[in-house]
Every structure is written in structure tokens, then in C-alpha cells.
Amino acid sequence: MIKNKKFVHEPIELSEMKSVTTENGRRYQTPEGLELPSITTVLSILSRKSIAAWRKRVGEKKANAISKQASSRGTSVHTICEKYLDNDPDYLDGVMPNNIQTFQTMKPIMNDMIGTIYAQEAPLYSTHLGVAGRVDCVAEFNGKISIIDFKTSRKFKKRDWCHSYFMQECAYAIMWEERTGIPITQLITFIAVDNSSPLIYVEHRDDWVNPLRDVIKQYEEENTSVKF
């Protein structure tokens, strides 16, 4: 059995935000009173055509069941990761065996690669980008402060299929620097894959700034008349 690691925390204080989910997606209210769309809502425009085609192909009933199962599993594994990094001794209490098995593939990598932790599930926003969200984890990864995003997948995901993940992490890095003054350029996508070893994609923030801006611009153009 792989031993638990005692993680070091140096939390950086961030202002909390209220959020509301509307028919047009989630929005956050900043401490200054601005209402900003969530970065996940903005980036969802990239996958809407493929998701619509998939739902049509498999049928609404099956698509709903698969989506619900995937969401539940993703939430469970993410919660385990968060509790484990928080040094919670009861991080596996009440967890389904399949989700424990998934986490166990991630645990040795977390032990080896994750160092000092600065934030988890932290509220972030950028007035420059006009978006907000909650970052999974900000911590040292292989000795370098990074944005770390935990994902789950039923199958292997090629790097080319993960561009929206990289843009999301890029947005968090920009939000983080705007809120704290601390630059982050390393982006880590940590994907637990069924019946396989986890995938880790390491990206540089600056490679994804322009693609991110293009998607934000498209979202804004499509939603100029939307009332939230």
C-alpha cells in the first residue's frame, strides 16, 4: 500500500465570490460587483456541436445516463484528491470502490510531484479577460508553481483533444496573477483514465493566451444581447 504524504500548505487569501447558475450558464459576482461568466461556460461553446452530435447518435436517454455517471465520478475523484491534498485522514470514507481504484493510480504521482500547496478550489476572476471560476489546485508540481487541473476519462485522451483544458488552465493562470501578483506559466492537466495509467500534459500558459482570447471574443459576440 502506498503511504500517505503530509503535504505542506502556504495558503494565499483570495476573496470569495457568489455564483448563480442560469439557463445561459454559471456567472460569478466579484467583490466589486461585476458579473462575469464562468470560464467553463465560455469554453463550452467549443464542444457544443460535437456534444449535440453525440447525443443525437446515442439518444437522449443514454446520453443523460452517461453524462450523469461521468459527472458523479468526476466529482467524487476530485473530492478525494482535494481531501488527500488537505491531509484529511478520512479522505476515502464513503467512497465507491471504483473511484478509490481510480484515485490509487493518481496517488503515487501526487506524492512524487506535488510540493507546497497554495490554494485549492480557489475563487478567481479577471477583469482583463472578463471571466471567473474556481481553480482545482495551485501548487508546486515537479518543483515549479503550477495550475493543476484534475480530470477523469473513460478512455485515453490525445493531447489534441484537450485544448479546452489548456485554455481553461491558462485563464486560471492569468486570473491568479491578476489577483495575487504571482506569475504562473506552467499548466498541468492530470487525467485519471479507466483501466490505465493517468495522463499528464504539461503546457506553457503563453501558448494558449491567443486561442483563449479568441474563444472569449466569440462568446461575447454571441451573448451581447443575452440577459442574465
- Domain edges within the chain: 26-222
Looking at residue 216, what is its pLDDT? 96
Query: What's the pTM value of the predicted model, to 2 decimals?
Result: 0.91
Residue 151, Cα to own-chain centre: how many angstroms?
7
Looking at residue 46, what is its pLDDT? 83
pLDDT tens for the 228 residues of the chain, in order = 689 999 999 999 999 999 988 877 899 999 999 999 999 999 998 865 556 555 566 676 765 665 566 666 778 898 999 999 999 999 999 898 989 999 999 999 999 999 999 999 999 999 999 999 999 999 999 999 999 999 999 889 999 999 999 999 999 999 999 999 999 999 999 999 988 899 999 999 999 999 999 999 999 998 875 444
Looking at residue 50, what is its pLDDT? 58
Task: Write out the CATH class of domain 26-222.
Answer: alpha beta
